[in-house]
Amino acid sequence: MSYCTVTEVTDLLEAVEDYSATTWTSAKILTLIDNCATYFEDTLCKGKKFSSTSYTETYDGNGKHDMRLNHTPIIAIQSLSIDETVIASTDIYVYATRIACTYRYNLGRQNISVTYTAGKTTVPKPVADAIAKLAASHIARVAGTGTSESISIAAGPIKLAESFSPAGKYADKITNWDKDIRRIARQYGGGVRLISETNNKRDEFVEFDPRSDRYVI
């Protein structure tokens, strides 16, 4: 699932004069969007997912006709087996947080196997906006500091230290985006707790410190 579009990112960069569409191809921006989405969900929102994801899991049989799954809301069940016996889809009933079955989930240790899709079918618009601003913020930092555009794009999720320091010549714009990002993270996922450099007290979410030009966590 796409969290936001390339156009939504590049529209934010209209005032970033050092941004190069030749350097930042659509393919690179799409990879960056995916990495930003991973960072937003796993770090800023403490693992909360805003798109649909497929899971394969095993559970202990509870002897009942229904069972709660780890990830919700449940969208669809791809396969279900009890004691290695595959259950037909017509015998499975899907609810938001659990699945019911015509047959009992026999008591046992890790004897229930299920593959299913859970999450949201549509990414909330504020979350999509935050991810677009994360991507634009990264590109603006690179453009404003002359750093290589390949930072954390090709391999794995964006790393905080690499992607958010320093802000460079577009610091004001980036700081405004950062405020929006952390406000949305706090609203949708609770944010990440931090130690404030000024008063040594815990805050509610990741905060950008313009004095040190970096995030503190």
pLDDT of residue 101: 97
pLDDT of residue 147: 57
pLDDT of residue 190: 63
pLDDT band with cut points at 50, 70 and 90 for residue 33: very high
pLDDT band with cut points at 50, 70 and 90 for residue 16: confident
d(CA 205, CA 189): 10
**H runs (alpha helix) in the chain:** 6-12, 26-39, 125-145, 160-163, 171-189
Closest CA to 139 of 40, 38, 20: 20
Q: Among 20-34, 98-112, 118-132, 190-204, name the most confident range.
A: 98-112
Q: For residue 86, what is the DSSP state?
A: E
- Angle, CA of 199, 45 and 72, to the nearest 5°: 150
- Structure tokens, 167: 């802000």
d(CA 137, CA 191): 18
Query: Average pLDDT in the 163-188 region?
Result: 78
Residue with more model confidence, 1 or 80 = 80
Examine the pLDDT at 171 and tell me if it is beyond 90: no
- Report the chain's mean pLDDT, rounded to a whole number: 79
Query: Average pLDDT in the 25-41 region?
Result: 89
pLDDT of residue 199: 38
The pLDDT tens digits for 135-166 are 998 888 887 765 554 444 444 444 433 444 45
The predicted model scores a pTM of: 0.65
How many Å from the N-terminal Cα to the C-terminal Cα in the chain?
A: 29
The pLDDT tens digits for 85-98 are 999 999 999 999 99
Output the CA–CA distances (angstroms, integers) from residue 45 to 14, 38, 42, 48, 93, in the order listed: 28, 10, 6, 6, 30
The pLDDT tens digits for 119-130 are 888 889 999 999
- Structure tokens, 96: 């938001």
